[in-house]
Structure 1
Amino acid sequence: MTTIPFAVIFDMDGTLFQTNKILGSSLERTFEVLRSEGHWQGEAPLAIYQKIMGVPLKVVWETLLPNHAESIRNQADKLFLECLNQEIKEGKGQLFPNVIETFSLFKQQGIPIFVASNGLEKYLEEICAYFHLHEYFADIYSVERSLIGSKTDLVHMLLKDHNIEEAVLVGDRKSDIEAAKENGLVTVGCQFGFAAANELADADFLITDFLELQAFVSKRRSTLTF
Protein backbone atom coordinates (compact mmCIF):
# COMPACT_ATOMS: atom_id res chain seq x y z
CA MET A 1 0.00 0.00 0.00
CA THR A 2 1.20 3.49 -0.85
CA THR A 3 2.03 5.63 2.16
CA ILE A 4 0.54 9.12 2.47
CA PRO A 5 3.07 11.19 4.42
CA PHE A 6 0.72 14.10 5.14
CA ALA A 7 -3.02 14.76 4.79
CA VAL A 8 -5.80 17.01 6.06
CA ILE A 9 -9.00 15.51 7.50
CA PHE A 10 -12.16 17.60 7.77
CA ASP A 11 -15.34 17.31 9.75
CA MET A 12 -18.38 18.33 7.68
CA ASP A 13 -21.16 19.99 9.74
CA GLY A 14 -20.12 23.34 11.15
CA THR A 15 -16.67 22.96 9.62
CA LEU A 16 -17.12 22.87 5.85
CA PHE A 17 -20.89 23.12 5.57
CA GLN A 18 -23.05 25.81 7.19
CA THR A 19 -25.56 23.34 8.56
CA ASN A 20 -27.35 26.09 10.49
CA LYS A 21 -28.69 27.38 7.15
CA ILE A 22 -30.95 24.33 6.81
CA LEU A 23 -31.02 22.90 10.33
CA GLY A 24 -33.92 24.87 11.79
CA SER A 25 -36.28 24.49 8.85
CA SER A 26 -35.50 20.79 8.45
CA LEU A 27 -36.02 20.09 12.13
CA GLU A 28 -39.27 22.08 12.12
CA ARG A 29 -40.57 20.15 9.12
CA THR A 30 -39.70 16.89 10.87
CA PHE A 31 -41.46 17.81 14.11
CA GLU A 32 -44.42 19.18 12.17
CA VAL A 33 -45.02 15.64 10.94
CA LEU A 34 -44.57 14.25 14.46
CA ARG A 35 -47.06 16.82 15.79
CA SER A 36 -49.60 15.93 13.11
CA GLU A 37 -49.38 12.29 14.15
CA GLY A 38 -49.72 13.07 17.85
CA HIS A 39 -46.12 12.22 18.74
CA TRP A 40 -45.05 15.74 19.73
CA GLN A 41 -46.41 18.94 21.24
CA GLY A 42 -44.91 22.41 21.18
CA GLU A 43 -41.97 23.82 19.24
CA ALA A 44 -39.21 21.81 17.65
CA PRO A 45 -36.26 21.47 20.09
CA LEU A 46 -33.82 23.41 17.94
CA ALA A 47 -31.83 24.91 20.82
CA ILE A 48 -31.18 21.46 22.29
CA TYR A 49 -30.05 20.12 18.94
CA GLN A 50 -27.67 23.03 18.39
CA LYS A 51 -25.97 22.22 21.69
CA ILE A 52 -25.30 18.60 20.69
CA MET A 53 -24.71 19.17 16.98
CA GLY A 54 -22.00 16.83 15.70
CA VAL A 55 -22.90 13.75 17.76
CA PRO A 56 -24.11 10.58 15.97
CA LEU A 57 -27.76 10.76 14.92
CA LYS A 58 -28.67 7.89 17.24
CA VAL A 59 -27.61 10.10 20.15
CA VAL A 60 -29.48 13.05 18.64
CA TRP A 61 -32.82 11.27 18.73
CA GLU A 62 -32.20 9.73 22.14
CA THR A 63 -31.66 13.29 23.37
CA LEU A 64 -34.50 15.02 21.51
CA LEU A 65 -37.02 12.21 22.00
CA PRO A 66 -35.94 10.61 25.30
CA ASN A 67 -39.41 9.28 26.18
CA HIS A 68 -40.37 8.03 22.74
CA ALA A 69 -40.29 4.54 21.32
CA GLU A 70 -37.42 3.50 19.06
CA SER A 71 -39.82 3.31 16.14
CA ILE A 72 -40.69 7.02 16.54
CA ARG A 73 -37.01 7.94 16.77
CA ASN A 74 -36.32 5.97 13.59
CA GLN A 75 -39.20 7.74 11.87
CA ALA A 76 -37.86 11.13 12.94
CA ASP A 77 -34.38 10.20 11.78
CA LYS A 78 -35.66 9.24 8.33
CA LEU A 79 -37.82 12.36 8.03
CA PHE A 80 -35.01 14.65 9.11
CA LEU A 81 -32.55 13.20 6.61
CA GLU A 82 -35.12 13.58 3.83
CA CYS A 83 -35.72 17.22 4.78
CA LEU A 84 -32.01 18.03 4.96
CA ASN A 85 -31.32 16.44 1.59
CA GLN A 86 -34.25 18.25 0.00
CA GLU A 87 -33.05 21.61 1.29
CA ILE A 88 -29.55 20.94 -0.01
CA LYS A 89 -31.00 20.11 -3.45
CA GLU A 90 -32.98 23.36 -3.32
CA GLY A 91 -29.75 25.30 -2.80
CA LYS A 92 -30.52 26.48 0.71
CA GLY A 93 -27.25 25.27 2.22
CA GLN A 94 -23.85 26.94 1.92
CA LEU A 95 -20.20 26.14 2.44
CA PHE A 96 -18.20 28.42 4.69
CA PRO A 97 -16.20 31.18 2.96
CA ASN A 98 -12.95 30.15 1.25
CA VAL A 99 -13.59 26.40 1.48
CA ILE A 100 -13.33 25.79 -2.28
CA GLU A 101 -10.35 28.11 -2.57
CA THR A 102 -8.61 26.17 0.21
CA PHE A 103 -9.39 22.83 -1.41
CA SER A 104 -8.05 24.08 -4.73
CA LEU A 105 -4.83 25.24 -3.08
CA PHE A 106 -4.30 21.90 -1.29
CA LYS A 107 -4.97 20.06 -4.55
CA GLN A 108 -2.33 22.18 -6.30
CA GLN A 109 0.09 21.44 -3.48
CA GLY A 110 -0.58 17.71 -3.70
CA ILE A 111 -2.08 17.48 -0.18
CA PRO A 112 -4.74 14.73 0.03
CA ILE A 113 -7.89 15.76 1.90
CA PHE A 114 -10.48 13.55 3.55
CA VAL A 115 -13.78 13.84 5.41
CA ALA A 116 -14.58 12.08 8.69
CA SER A 117 -18.13 12.91 9.73
CA ASN A 118 -20.86 11.75 12.08
CA GLY A 119 -23.27 12.47 9.22
CA LEU A 120 -24.89 9.70 7.22
CA GLU A 121 -23.51 8.71 3.84
CA LYS A 122 -26.54 9.85 1.85
CA TYR A 123 -26.44 13.28 3.51
CA LEU A 124 -22.73 13.71 2.84
CA GLU A 125 -23.25 12.64 -0.74
CA GLU A 126 -25.92 15.30 -1.27
CA ILE A 127 -23.55 18.01 -0.04
CA CYS A 128 -20.64 16.77 -2.13
CA ALA A 129 -22.76 16.37 -5.25
CA TYR A 130 -24.37 19.82 -4.98
CA PHE A 131 -21.07 21.65 -4.39
CA HIS A 132 -18.99 19.39 -6.70
CA LEU A 133 -16.61 18.38 -3.93
CA HIS A 134 -15.75 14.86 -5.08
CA GLU A 135 -12.92 16.17 -7.25
CA TYR A 136 -11.13 17.31 -4.10
CA PHE A 137 -11.65 14.46 -1.63
CA ALA A 138 -9.47 11.36 -1.56
CA ASP A 139 -12.18 9.63 0.49
CA ILE A 140 -15.26 10.40 2.59
CA TYR A 141 -15.84 8.53 5.84
CA SER A 142 -19.39 8.55 7.15
CA VAL A 143 -20.11 7.39 10.70
CA GLU A 144 -21.84 4.42 9.09
CA ARG A 145 -18.41 2.97 8.33
CA SER A 146 -17.69 2.62 12.05
CA LEU A 147 -19.14 -0.44 13.74
CA ILE A 148 -19.20 1.38 17.09
CA GLY A 149 -20.33 4.78 15.76
CA SER A 150 -17.34 6.63 17.21
CA LYS A 151 -15.53 9.58 15.61
CA THR A 152 -12.29 8.35 17.20
CA ASP A 153 -12.77 4.92 15.66
CA LEU A 154 -13.70 6.47 12.32
CA VAL A 155 -10.53 8.56 12.20
CA HIS A 156 -8.43 5.56 13.24
CA MET A 157 -9.96 3.53 10.42
CA LEU A 158 -9.30 6.28 7.88
CA LEU A 159 -5.66 6.62 8.91
CA LYS A 160 -5.13 2.87 8.73
CA ASP A 161 -6.99 2.34 5.45
CA HIS A 162 -4.96 5.00 3.67
CA ASN A 163 -1.67 4.45 5.50
CA ILE A 164 -1.43 8.10 6.55
CA GLU A 165 1.68 8.94 8.54
CA GLU A 166 0.74 12.45 9.72
CA ALA A 167 -2.40 14.54 9.42
CA VAL A 168 -4.14 17.69 10.57
CA LEU A 169 -7.76 17.25 11.64
CA VAL A 170 -10.05 20.25 11.25
CA GLY A 171 -13.31 20.37 13.22
CA ASP A 172 -15.68 22.54 15.22
CA ARG A 173 -16.61 20.32 18.17
CA LYS A 174 -14.85 18.83 21.18
CA SER A 175 -15.48 15.35 19.76
CA ASP A 176 -13.34 16.28 16.73
CA ILE A 177 -10.48 17.45 18.93
CA GLU A 178 -10.72 14.31 21.09
CA ALA A 179 -10.78 12.03 18.04
CA ALA A 180 -7.67 13.74 16.69
CA LYS A 181 -5.77 13.69 19.99
CA GLU A 182 -6.55 10.01 20.57
CA ASN A 183 -5.12 9.25 17.15
CA GLY A 184 -2.04 11.41 17.62
CA LEU A 185 -3.03 14.12 15.14
CA VAL A 186 -2.55 17.87 15.08
CA THR A 187 -5.87 19.66 15.65
CA VAL A 188 -7.39 22.82 14.20
CA GLY A 189 -10.54 24.16 15.83
CA CYS A 190 -13.06 26.15 13.79
CA GLN A 191 -14.51 29.00 15.82
CA PHE A 192 -17.25 29.66 13.27
CA GLY A 193 -19.04 26.31 13.81
CA PHE A 194 -21.22 24.96 16.62
CA ALA A 195 -18.64 24.98 19.41
CA ALA A 196 -19.59 26.48 22.75
CA ALA A 197 -17.24 28.79 24.66
CA ASN A 198 -13.95 27.04 25.55
CA GLU A 199 -15.06 23.83 23.81
CA LEU A 200 -12.03 24.01 21.52
CA ALA A 201 -9.56 24.90 24.26
CA ASP A 202 -7.47 21.77 23.61
CA ALA A 203 -7.04 22.42 19.89
CA ASP A 204 -3.49 23.08 18.71
CA PHE A 205 -4.62 26.01 16.57
CA LEU A 206 -7.83 28.01 16.20
CA ILE A 207 -9.14 29.63 13.03
CA THR A 208 -11.92 32.06 12.21
CA ASP A 209 -11.49 31.71 8.44
CA PHE A 210 -10.10 29.10 6.06
CA LEU A 211 -7.42 31.52 4.89
CA GLU A 212 -5.82 30.99 8.30
CA LEU A 213 -5.97 27.23 7.75
CA GLN A 214 -4.10 27.58 4.46
CA ALA A 215 -1.23 29.32 6.20
CA PHE A 216 -1.18 26.84 9.11
CA VAL A 217 -1.16 23.75 6.89
CA SER A 218 1.53 25.16 4.61
CA LYS A 219 3.73 25.94 7.61
CA ARG A 220 3.08 22.54 9.19
CA ARG A 221 3.83 20.69 5.97
CA SER A 222 7.07 22.63 5.47
CA THR A 223 8.43 21.23 8.74
CA LEU A 224 8.08 17.63 7.57
CA THR A 225 10.76 15.61 5.81
CA PHE A 226 9.36 13.46 3.01
Structure 2
Amino acid sequence: MTQSLIFDMDGTLFQTDKILALSLEDTFNQLRLQNKWNDATPIDHYREIMGVPLPKVWSTLLPNHSEEVREEANAYFLERLVKNIKDGQGALYPHVEEVFQYLKENQYEIYIASNGLTDYLNAIVNYYQLDQWVTETFSIQEIKTLDKADLVQHIMKKYEISQGIVVGDRLSDFRAAKENGLKAIGCRFDFARKEELSEADLVIEDLMELQSIGNK
Protein backbone atom coordinates (compact mmCIF):
# COMPACT_ATOMS: atom_id res chain seq x y z
CA MET A 1 0.00 0.00 0.00
CA THR A 2 1.25 3.48 -0.89
CA GLN A 3 2.19 5.51 2.16
CA SER A 4 1.74 9.26 2.34
CA LEU A 5 3.97 11.85 3.95
CA ILE A 6 2.63 15.31 4.71
CA PHE A 7 5.41 17.84 5.30
CA ASP A 8 5.32 21.19 7.00
CA MET A 9 7.19 23.89 5.07
CA ASP A 10 8.70 26.51 7.42
CA GLY A 11 11.36 25.12 9.70
CA THR A 12 10.98 21.65 8.17
CA LEU A 13 11.73 21.89 4.45
CA PHE A 14 12.55 25.57 4.06
CA GLN A 15 15.10 27.46 6.17
CA THR A 16 12.77 30.34 6.81
CA ASP A 17 15.20 32.03 9.16
CA LYS A 18 17.39 32.98 6.20
CA ILE A 19 14.76 35.39 4.88
CA LEU A 20 12.72 36.01 8.02
CA ALA A 21 14.86 38.73 9.56
CA LEU A 22 15.34 40.48 6.20
CA SER A 23 11.64 40.52 5.40
CA LEU A 24 10.52 41.46 8.89
CA GLU A 25 13.04 44.30 9.07
CA ASP A 26 11.79 45.59 5.73
CA THR A 27 8.22 45.48 7.01
CA PHE A 28 8.90 47.31 10.25
CA ASN A 29 11.01 49.87 8.43
CA GLN A 30 7.96 50.53 6.30
CA LEU A 31 5.86 50.94 9.46
CA ARG A 32 8.47 53.36 10.85
CA LEU A 33 8.30 55.45 7.68
CA GLN A 34 4.55 55.64 8.21
CA ASN A 35 5.04 56.64 11.88
CA LYS A 36 3.26 53.46 12.97
CA TRP A 37 6.22 51.88 14.80
CA ASN A 38 9.17 53.31 16.73
CA ASP A 39 10.64 50.34 18.59
CA ALA A 40 13.08 47.58 17.60
CA THR A 41 11.93 44.98 15.09
CA PRO A 42 10.43 42.08 17.14
CA ILE A 43 12.29 39.30 15.35
CA ASP A 44 12.84 37.22 18.51
CA HIS A 45 9.14 37.47 19.33
CA TYR A 46 8.31 36.20 15.85
CA ARG A 47 10.68 33.27 16.20
CA GLU A 48 8.86 32.28 19.39
CA ILE A 49 5.50 32.06 17.63
CA MET A 50 6.79 30.68 14.33
CA GLY A 51 4.33 28.21 12.86
CA VAL A 52 1.07 29.95 13.75
CA PRO A 53 -1.20 31.37 11.00
CA LEU A 54 -0.24 34.87 9.86
CA PRO A 55 -3.36 36.62 11.25
CA LYS A 56 -2.27 35.48 14.71
CA VAL A 57 1.29 36.58 13.97
CA TRP A 58 0.22 40.17 13.35
CA SER A 59 -2.23 40.34 16.24
CA THR A 60 0.69 39.25 18.42
CA LEU A 61 3.37 41.52 16.94
CA LEU A 62 1.06 44.52 16.58
CA PRO A 63 -1.35 44.11 19.52
CA ASN A 64 -2.16 47.82 19.74
CA HIS A 65 -2.68 48.44 16.04
CA SER A 66 -5.84 48.33 13.97
CA GLU A 67 -6.79 45.39 11.82
CA GLU A 68 -6.20 47.56 8.77
CA VAL A 69 -2.58 48.22 9.78
CA ARG A 70 -2.06 44.51 10.49
CA GLU A 71 -3.40 43.58 7.08
CA GLU A 72 -1.16 46.14 5.39
CA ALA A 73 1.86 44.86 7.31
CA ASN A 74 0.99 41.28 6.40
CA ALA A 75 0.67 42.13 2.69
CA TYR A 76 3.98 43.99 2.66
CA PHE A 77 5.69 41.19 4.60
CA LEU A 78 4.43 38.61 2.11
CA GLU A 79 5.67 40.76 -0.77
CA ARG A 80 9.14 40.95 0.77
CA LEU A 81 9.24 37.23 1.55
CA VAL A 82 8.39 36.33 -2.04
CA LYS A 83 10.96 38.77 -3.43
CA ASN A 84 13.70 37.39 -1.15
CA ILE A 85 12.85 33.83 -2.18
CA LYS A 86 12.97 34.73 -5.88
CA ASP A 87 16.28 36.54 -5.29
CA GLY A 88 17.75 33.32 -3.92
CA GLN A 89 18.12 34.58 -0.36
CA GLY A 90 16.51 31.47 1.17
CA ALA A 91 17.48 27.80 1.23
CA LEU A 92 16.01 24.37 1.71
CA TYR A 93 17.28 22.30 4.60
CA PRO A 94 20.09 19.87 3.70
CA HIS A 95 19.07 16.77 1.75
CA VAL A 96 15.48 17.81 0.91
CA GLU A 97 15.84 16.99 -2.79
CA GLU A 98 17.75 13.79 -2.11
CA VAL A 99 15.18 12.55 0.40
CA PHE A 100 12.25 13.52 -1.82
CA GLN A 101 13.81 11.63 -4.71
CA TYR A 102 14.30 8.58 -2.50
CA LEU A 103 10.71 8.72 -1.25
CA LYS A 104 9.26 9.01 -4.75
CA GLU A 105 11.38 6.14 -6.01
CA ASN A 106 10.04 4.04 -3.13
CA GLN A 107 6.40 4.83 -3.93
CA TYR A 108 5.71 7.37 -1.20
CA GLU A 109 3.26 10.17 -1.95
CA ILE A 110 4.48 13.58 -0.78
CA TYR A 111 2.28 16.52 0.22
CA ILE A 112 2.99 19.86 1.87
CA ALA A 113 0.63 21.35 4.48
CA SER A 114 1.64 24.79 5.70
CA ASN A 115 0.37 27.72 7.74
CA GLY A 116 2.04 29.89 5.10
CA LEU A 117 0.04 31.75 2.49
CA THR A 118 -0.42 30.44 -1.04
CA ASP A 119 1.76 33.00 -2.86
CA TYR A 120 4.60 32.42 -0.43
CA LEU A 121 4.39 28.65 -0.75
CA ASN A 122 4.19 28.84 -4.54
CA ALA A 123 7.33 30.98 -4.59
CA ILE A 124 9.26 28.30 -2.69
CA VAL A 125 7.84 25.38 -4.68
CA ASN A 126 8.55 27.10 -8.01
CA TYR A 127 12.04 28.36 -7.13
CA TYR A 128 13.22 24.95 -5.93
CA GLN A 129 11.07 22.97 -8.41
CA LEU A 130 9.57 20.89 -5.62
CA ASP A 131 6.55 19.94 -7.69
CA GLN A 132 8.62 17.29 -9.45
CA TRP A 133 8.25 15.31 -6.20
CA VAL A 134 5.32 16.90 -4.36
CA THR A 135 1.82 15.82 -5.37
CA GLU A 136 0.21 19.02 -4.07
CA THR A 137 0.97 21.90 -1.71
CA PHE A 138 -1.78 23.11 0.62
CA SER A 139 -2.02 26.45 2.43
CA ILE A 140 -3.92 27.18 5.62
CA GLN A 141 -5.74 29.81 3.49
CA GLU A 142 -7.84 26.94 2.14
CA ILE A 143 -9.34 26.25 5.58
CA LYS A 144 -11.77 28.66 7.24
CA THR A 145 -10.82 27.53 10.74
CA LEU A 146 -7.09 28.20 10.15
CA ASP A 147 -6.53 24.92 12.03
CA LYS A 148 -3.75 22.71 10.70
CA ALA A 149 -5.56 19.57 11.84
CA ASP A 150 -8.43 20.54 9.55
CA LEU A 151 -5.98 21.19 6.72
CA VAL A 152 -4.49 17.72 7.11
CA GLN A 153 -7.97 16.25 7.24
CA HIS A 154 -8.77 18.06 3.98
CA ILE A 155 -5.71 16.49 2.31
CA MET A 156 -6.65 13.05 3.60
CA LYS A 157 -10.17 13.33 2.24
CA LYS A 158 -9.08 14.66 -1.15
CA TYR A 159 -6.52 11.90 -1.70
CA GLU A 160 -8.29 9.15 0.28
CA ILE A 161 -5.36 8.77 2.67
CA SER A 162 -5.95 6.26 5.46
CA GLN A 163 -2.44 6.01 6.85
CA GLY A 164 0.60 8.20 6.75
CA ILE A 165 2.99 10.52 8.55
CA VAL A 166 3.10 14.23 9.26
CA VAL A 167 6.65 15.62 9.33
CA GLY A 168 7.03 18.96 11.05
CA ASP A 169 8.74 20.96 13.75
CA ARG A 170 5.99 22.53 15.86
CA LEU A 171 3.11 21.47 18.07
CA SER A 172 0.50 22.29 15.42
CA ASP A 173 2.07 19.65 13.16
CA PHE A 174 2.09 16.95 15.82
CA ARG A 175 -1.47 17.66 16.92
CA ALA A 176 -2.63 17.69 13.30
CA ALA A 177 -1.16 14.19 12.95
CA LYS A 178 -2.66 12.84 16.17
CA GLU A 179 -6.13 14.27 15.58
CA ASN A 180 -6.21 12.55 12.19
CA GLY A 181 -4.80 9.20 13.30
CA LEU A 182 -1.43 9.72 11.62
CA LYS A 183 2.10 9.28 12.92
CA ALA A 184 4.06 12.43 13.83
CA ILE A 185 7.77 12.91 13.13
CA GLY A 186 9.41 15.94 14.66
CA CYS A 187 12.39 17.76 13.16
CA ARG A 188 14.79 19.19 15.72
CA PHE A 189 15.63 22.19 13.53
CA ASP A 190 15.73 25.98 13.96
CA PHE A 191 12.30 26.71 15.45
CA ALA A 192 11.67 23.42 17.24
CA ARG A 193 11.02 23.42 20.97
CA LYS A 194 11.90 20.57 23.30
CA GLU A 195 8.53 20.56 25.06
CA GLU A 196 6.68 20.44 21.73
CA LEU A 197 8.89 17.75 20.22
CA SER A 198 7.89 15.52 23.13
CA GLU A 199 4.48 15.26 21.43
CA ALA A 200 5.98 13.63 18.32
CA ASP A 201 6.21 9.86 17.89
CA LEU A 202 9.76 10.14 16.62
CA VAL A 203 12.29 13.00 16.53
CA ILE A 204 14.95 13.33 13.84
CA GLU A 205 18.02 15.53 13.55
CA ASP A 206 18.43 15.28 9.77
CA LEU A 207 15.95 14.64 6.96
CA MET A 208 18.18 11.83 5.73
CA GLU A 209 16.80 9.76 8.62
CA LEU A 210 13.54 9.54 6.68
CA GLN A 211 15.24 7.10 4.32
CA SER A 212 14.90 4.46 7.03
CA ILE A 213 11.31 5.45 7.73
CA GLY A 214 9.97 1.99 6.98
CA ASN A 215 11.98 0.59 9.84
CA LYS A 216 10.84 3.14 12.41
What is the one-letter code of the residue matched to 1:75? Answer: E
For 1:205, the equivalent position in structure 2 comes to 202
DSSP 3-state at the match of 2:186:
strand
The alpha-carbon deviation at position 5 of structure 1 amounts to 4.2
% identity of equivalent residues? 46
Distance 2:143 2:215 in 1: 32
What is the one-letter code of the residue matched to 1:20? Answer: D
Which of these residues, 203, 208, 212, is aligned with residue 215 of structure 1? 212
DSSP 3-state at the match of 1:160:
helix
Contact 1:187 / 1:203 at 8 angstroms: preserved in 2? yes
Which of these residues, 16, 20, 23, is aligned with residue 23 of structure 1? 20
Distance 2:79 2:119 in 1: 10
Contact 2:2 / 2:108 at 8 angstroms: preserved in 1? no
DSSP 3-state at the match of 2:132:
coil
Which of these residues, 39, 42, 50, is aligned with residue 39 of structure 2? 42
What is the one-letter code of the residue matched to 2:112? Answer: V
What is the one-letter code of the residue matched to 1:184? Answer: G
Q: How many residues align?
A: 216
Which of these residues, 153, 159, 179, is aligned with residue 156 of structure 2? 159
For 2:147, the equivalent position in structure 1 comes to 150
TM superposition outliers: structure 1 runs of 4+ over 6 Å: none
What is the one-letter code of the residue matched to 1:219? Answer: N
For 1:7, the equivalent position in structure 2 comes to 4
CA RMSD of aligned residues (A): 1.0
In structure 1, stretches of 5+ residues that fail to align are 221-226
Once the two structures are superposed, the pairs formed by residues 85-96 of structure 1 within 5 Å of their partners are 85-96=82-93
In structure 2, stretches of 5+ residues that fail to align are none
Which of these residues, 88, 98, 103, is aligned with residue 101 of structure 1? 98
Distance 2:111 2:176 in 1: 15
For 1:224, the equivalent position in structure 2 comes to none
Contact 1:5 / 1:165 at 8 angstroms: preserved in 2? no
For 2:64, the equivalent position in structure 1 comes to 67
Q: So what's the TM-score if we normalise by structure 2?
A: 0.98
Question: Could you report, residue by residue, the CA deviation over 1:40-68 in whole angstroms, capped at 9, with x for unpaired residues?
Answer: 01211001100000100000000000110
